[in-house]
Amino acid sequence: MVKPLVAGNWKMNGTAENLGEIAAIAEAADGHADVVDMMICPPATLLRNASYSASGTALKMGGQDCHPEVSGAHTGDVSAKMLADAGASAVIVGHSERRADHGEGDELVRAKAKAVIAANLLAIVCVGETLEERESGQAVERVTSQLKGSLPEGATASNLVVAYEPVWAIGTGKTPTADDVAAMHLAIREHLSSAFPGEGSQMRILYGGSVKPSNAAELMAVDNVNGALVGGASLTSADFLGIVAAYE
């Protein structure tokens, strides 16, 4: 059995007044720790205070992105080592919004993932296809290509998680079926098992397509879905814990 992970990505949301939501999630985390790992990835400005709010509990903190270098003349950037120093135990890299809004390609995502692992953190590497790629029948080919280009050699089940984001379902009104999710997660599992013998079968694959309390139970029950990367629903403790409840 692969222990699932439910990770909340706050994106560019949250100020100090929102730390109470993290405190509420942290308070509930120990009650779920036997069956599911829980994580919140707040903006970097909140990471240290969020870590204090979760101190002594099972709730972990993560960063949303990092620079591939440890330090240097990179104004405005943050390294994985800096995120670790602020309390992070993981970093998201290659999120669809970073790939689309900042033009990040597989080579850069791979370099960032290597930097995360080198800092002894968990790399959460995101992959996913657009609507055009799905409708043209290239969904699996596209995601497999991203996996090949984005995942560093030598990764293990303890330092790498893959998050699948059906980009075509975000803000389009289109919803993937459980069968859609199962097919893609199976393709990802097959690639991981081949690329990382002995480790790929145990690597967690998160689903990241508009997960909310109302659909979490169905999605989390799909084969090879080992948790969720949650966006908007992670901003409130009630919604986030409602998703975690899928594992009760």
* pLDDT beyond 90 at 175: no
Please tell me the class of the 5-179+191-228+242-247 domain: alpha beta
Establish whether 153 is a catalytic residue: no
From the candidates 21, 97, 104, 165, which is the catalytic residue? 165
Percent of the chain with pLDDT over 70: 99
Q: Which residues contact 81 (CB under 8 A, 6 or more apart)?
A: 70, 71, 119
Residue 12 half-sphere exposure toward CB, CA atoms < 13 A:
2
> To the nearest whole percent, how much of the chain has pLDDT over 90?
94
pLDDT given for residue 170 in this prediction? 77
Span 186-211, mean pLDDT?
96
Helix axes 19-29, 237-244, angle to 10 degrees: 30
The structural domains of the chain, with segments of one domain joined by +, span 5-179+191-228+242-247
Spell out the residues 6+ positions from residue 65 whose beta carbon is closer than 8 angstroms to its own.
78, 91, 92, 93, 95, 98, 112
Residue 95 is among the residues annotated as catalytic for this protein: yes
Question: What does the pLDDT read at residue 188?
Answer: 98
Q: What is the pLDDT of residue 238?
A: 98
Catalytic residue from among 21, 32, 67, 95: 95
pLDDT confidence tier of residue 172, bands split at 50, 70 and 90: confident
